[in-house]
Structure 1
Amino acid sequence: MNTTLADQAGATLTVEDGVLHIRMVLPDLAESSEATDAALMMFAARGDLFQGMVLWDQYEAIYRVYQRRLAQTVDTGAFTNLYDPLCQVAASYATVRGVRQYTGEKFLDEAVSCMERVPAIGLLLRGGLLTPTQFRLALDQVAAVIDTDVLAVIDVEAADRLRTAGNLTGPRVTEIVAAVVAEHDADAAQAAREAAKPRKKVVVEPVDGTLADLRVTATVEDVRLAKDSIDAVIADVCPDDPRSKAVRRSDAVIALLTGKVFACECDNDDCPSREGVEVAARLATVVLHVVARRESLTGESDVPAYLDGFGPITADHVRDIAADADTVIRDLDVTDLLGGASQPSNGYRPTAACDTLVRAVHGRCTHPGCDMPAYRCDLDHVTEYNHGDPSAGGPTCPCNLNPKCRFHHGLKTFVDGWLDDQIVDANGVIWTEVTTPEGITVRSRALNHWLLPELGLVPCVHDDAPTSSRPPQEADPGRPRSRTEAKHRYRMRMRAYNRRKREGAPRTPAGCASNADEAPPF
């Protein structure tokens, strides 16, 4: 069984004669029922799709009230700066709902933005593609855009990217919209960055009679470097250190700021870190990765860059980082892959260019719902590499490599039933998909295709491994191969079988809307 999110939309909402009709796919929850695990899982995980649909109608309702009140105050002249139409309508909403005036004004402001400022993104909320939380994250990214013509372009392009992104999480929505804003309204992004600089500060607040909070506000790159430096220092203590990770971080920060020694607190006499961690040596290993196009660095283009662990940053921002004396710039040419993507001495290891490009185009862990930064992930062969016979396994190539955090890498490797795949479509877009043991397939588009659109168009120099045309069968235990080899062969055949089914399935006609994740245009 193979069930996609598009097959299990989960909810629809229609309006008939002034009545909202919500339709949900509800499996039989009786213990003796024969409901499949896939149906039960889809309902548990996606049964709240209707929330965005209902919220859009709520926005439309209060927006109509606001429009009428606005027209009335203009006609009668009953307009004051203190009690303007927005304030009046928000006060009614706050009274009826039982919330503060601020909450009412915020809700009405979101409604106006949904209907006027970003109607295309708002329709994604109406279609169930965005959750209310994700929609509000998108609004946050366009808040600084003032030019209505520019905002209209951002709205349409961001909505298109979100609609075709596949699986969405909060950070993914934020980064997709932020990239569009940084590209089309660099002035607004730069103005927001300049306005934020005076807000750098250090704040101390007491927690109780013993503890206090120390909060430092700084640029994103400095905070990332500081956080990575702290983690690098605490990584040198032994496993027997009794402190939690949070306590070790706190102790390391104070030691670094005050010049004290940070040491392991275990009871092992032979622990090399009991006398103190070699801080300078640990800090020397900290690297902050930023990937930018060459024309952005030279000022010829305003295409944003990508800061690992944070997201898109403006071209002006990356030029400032590049001008820092501590920054090391390495040129990267996508055409280097034409000579091969693996190291000549070891076909399993990717070249430095391949490694960087794969991490950059995906940005984060490719497992749906996980947002671990790419440079903190393992680089995984989607179709497993065959060390005994490389020609019979998955190639070391951008088409077969993606970042996975250690947990999800291990989940795929050691837990039966999980299957992942990676496909490059005719437009050079890289798609990943993960199928759960229940048979539910979730697809995701490479997060940073906008940064490296040519990567998926570079011809692969490897030969595809031969695959069987028969449906996948369980590996024959009588064959003279290890359990791991049998599992890898079975997965390869399953991927080939799923691809043939996908290619033979009818495509959604152009222009048709879906209230679930859209399938890639294979």
Structure 2
Amino acid sequence: MNIKVRGDSGSASAVSSVVVDESAIVIRIGRPGGTGESADCTSRADRSALLGFAARADCYQGLVLWHRYEAVYALLLAKQAESDGPAGGVESGADVYTRLYDPLCQVAASYATAAGVRQCTAEHFVEAAVACMERIPAVGRLMRDGLICPAWFRRVVEQTALVDDADLLAFIDAEIAHTLSVVGKLSAGRVEALVSSIVAEHDPDAVTLTREQVKLAKQVRVNPLGEGVSEVIVTASTEDAMVVKDVLDAVIAGVCSHDPRTRGERRSAAAVARLAGTDFVCECGRDDCTAELSTEAIASRCARVVLHVVVRKETLGGESDTPAHLDGYGPISAEHVRELAARPDAVRREVDLGELVDHQAQRGNAYRPTAAVDAAVRGLFGTCSWPGCERAAWKSDLDHVCEFNHTDPSAGGPTCVCNLNPKCRFHHGLKTFVGGWVDDQVVDANGVIWTEVTTPEGFTVRQRALNMRLLPELGHLTCRHPAPTRPGSGHAGVAPERPRTRVEAKHQYRMRRRAANRRAREVVEAVVPTGASVTECGTVWGTEWGEPQF
């Protein structure tokens, strides 16, 4: 096997390769020039290569682990063949292959001795090897090829552990491998969300069993930590735990800016106060304290705590088992979301897709999206759209990817699904106020919405909107906004004159960078499906879809 790997940005300066034969694994990791204490990396290409090397040079850990799994799996097969053979119980004694000392246990014992680890750790390793070679081999090959890291692979093993039908497991394995290979940049949270949604859709029992186990495990435990400190562990359903956390945040939001405690210390004090029925107070000790911790103020903030769930209409009706998305958590099973919808405090709102086609900005204010567009975009992305960030979508800002021009709206980015995505406050500010960052959003010919972020060093990361499987309609909406016009002067004869305003200049710069990024992307292997082209706004919405619920 001979593999050549390039960085995400397509830089050719750090080409790496792997050669695997019968006797050796030869790994060549391309090291970009300009490293060292006296590094001179003034060019953008040099900095992009250095960033790619720093971020991606560990991608071969999965390759080595895959071959380790292959080796221990071969030992396991050999041990199983011995136990099944005619001499299996004769030469070694009749009690060797019992329930306790089965082939897996024996191989794990040998591995534990050689590796210097505990027996339970060794057994987990052998079980993961069996999963890699037998249960989910397609996902295992993704780890081997460096697309997912070992930690992500282990999470896939855990999430597919309850699937017991061999044919269904083979299908789920192929579906997971295909999905992870086409969605662009991955992170731990995205891998877990995508895998859990696939398992929940095709084998609801694999999720339901886990949920039932959690229900039986609901309890309160107190564990002493020493030095007069103990921890209280409350096990609750996902939605209740999230509400508790949000309520605590609403309580501690009332302290003044001089409170000396950390956020964790404030949450702890607020939780104890709520459970004990005492007052939560600010500890600034100042006479001019401006804390708002009255019963009425706390109740007002707690009343604004809302959990958002995005679910298909047919899932609520029982016609489908498509998983839903719980904001701040991730995919939840169809049975779970139907339980949530049946709660007396649940409020159900339908999104009118016809309204999205008719208009997407508020009438009279082209900058503000409608409530339907706001909910649809947040539900589509599920989290902050920045690669690696998992901030909940409803706790993030809704950002115009191509900046809205308040002076001349027709010259700036439109308020449209094709130009909106959620960004947490940090990444929103990073994109807006720090020079060199460029983000883009495109809809390919198949109606798949992609986002791209380019660092100041020129390193580009591309990923698919997280919940495209849940809301595919949004990629097929027809954009009715006019194309941006060429920026003109924003001044009315006031000296000193400039050819364009700061907003227009920044917009023009970003459009140039986006165009350059697209041209660079054309010379490397496309991430979109074979035969698909990238368009700016999407294709005509010509298919009947079930309406999603929010």
**Fold shared by both chains (TM-score > 0.5):** yes
Distance (whole Å) between structure 2 residues aligned to residue 332 and residue 156 of structure 1: 33
Distance (whole Å) between structure 1 residues aligned to residue 132 and residue 497 of structure 2: 62
Once structures 1 and 2 are overlaid, which stretch shifts more, 487-496 or 369-378? Answer: 487-496
1:58 partner letter = R
CA drift of 1:373 comes to 1.0
1:350–1:322 CA distance, 2 compared to 1 (3 A): same
1:67 is matched with 77
2:150 partner letter = P
Matched, 1:101 2:112: no
Matched, 1:41 2:51: yes
- SS of 1:41's partner is helix
1:19–1:142 CA distance, 2 compared to 1 (3 A): same
Q: 1:24 aligns with which of 13, 29, 32?
A: 29
Distance (whole Å) between structure 1 residues aligned to residue 80 and residue 363 of structure 2: 70
Q: How does 1:343-422 map to 2 (within 5 A)?
A: 343-422=362-441
Matched, 1:262 2:267: no
1:60–1:335 CA distance, 2 compared to 1 (3 A): farther
RMSD value, Cα:
2.3
2:242 is matched with 224
Q: How does 1:111-510 map to 2 (within 5 A)?
A: 111-273=129-291, 276=294, 278-466=297-485, 479-502=498-521, 504-505=522-523, 507=525
Distance (whole Å) between structure 1 residues aligned to residue 527 and residue 194 of structure 2: 25
Distance (whole Å) between structure 2 residues aligned to residue 252 and residue 165 of structure 1: 41
- Whether the 8 Å CA contact 1:262–1:276 is kept in 2: the answer is no
Once structures 1 and 2 are overlaid, which stretch shifts more, 293-302 or 186-195? Answer: 186-195
Q: TM-score, normalised by structure 1?
A: 0.92
1:295 partner letter = E
1:464–1:70 CA distance, 2 compared to 1 (3 A): same
Distance (whole Å) between structure 2 residues aligned to residue 43 and residue 197 of structure 1: 45
Once the two structures are superposed, what CA deviation does each residue of 1:403-429 show, in whole Å capped at 9, x if it has no partner?
A: 111111111111111100001001111
Matched, 1:57 2:67: yes
2:26 partner letter = H
1:320–1:241 CA distance, 2 compared to 1 (3 A): same
Query: Sequence identity of aligned pairs in percent?
Result: 53
1:520–1:461 CA distance, 2 compared to 1 (3 A): same
- SS of 2:226's partner is coil
Once the two structures are superposed, what CA deviation does each residue of 1:377-433 show, in whole Å capped at 9, x if it has no partner?
A: 111110000011000000011111111111111111111111000010011111001
- Whether the 8 Å CA contact 1:365–1:372 is kept in 2: the answer is yes
1:228–1:274 CA distance, 2 compared to 1 (3 A): closer
1:48 partner letter = D
Distance (whole Å) between structure 2 residues aligned to residue 193 and residue 454 of structure 1: 30
Distance (whole Å) between structure 2 residues aligned to residue 10 and residue 232 of structure 1: 50
1:98 partner letter = G
- Whether the 8 Å CA contact 1:53–1:125 is kept in 2: the answer is yes
Q: 2:20 aligns with which of 2, 15, 19?
A: 15
- Whether the 8 Å CA contact 2:437–2:455 is kept in 1: the answer is yes
- SS of 1:460's partner is coil
1:282–1:511 CA distance, 2 compared to 1 (3 A): closer
CA drift of 1:478 comes to 7.2
Distance (whole Å) between structure 1 residues aligned to residue 319 and residue 112 of structure 2: 50
CA drift of 1:209 comes to 3.7
- Whether the 8 Å CA contact 1:348–1:385 is kept in 2: the answer is yes
CA drift of 1:485 comes to 3.1
Unaligned runs of 5+ in 1: 469-476, 513-518
2:346 partner letter = T
Distance (whole Å) between structure 2 residues aligned to residue 72 and residue 104 of structure 1: 21
1:407 partner letter = F
- Whether the 8 Å CA contact 1:3–1:441 is kept in 2: the answer is no
Distance (whole Å) between structure 2 residues aligned to residue 252 and residue 30 of structure 1: 49
CA drift of 1:72 comes to 1.2
Distance (whole Å) between structure 1 residues aligned to residue 83 and residue 188 of structure 2: 39
- Whether the 8 Å CA contact 1:422–1:433 is kept in 2: the answer is yes
Q: TM-score, normalised by structure 2?
A: 0.88
CA drift of 1:509 comes to 11
- SS of 1:194's partner is helix
Q: Does 1 or 2 have the higher relative contact order (CA < 8 Å, sep 6+)? A: 1
2:545 is matched with none
Distance (whole Å) between structure 1 residues aligned to residue 80 and residue 18 of structure 2: 29
1:16 partner letter = D
Distance (whole Å) between structure 1 residues aligned to residue 57 and residue 221 of structure 2: 43
- Whether the 8 Å CA contact 1:10–1:46 is kept in 2: the answer is no
2:316 partner letter = L
1:197 partner letter = K
Unaligned runs of 5+ in 2: 1-5, 90-96, 488-495, 535-550
1:356 partner letter = A
1:158–1:214 CA distance, 2 compared to 1 (3 A): same
CA drift of 1:367 comes to 1.1
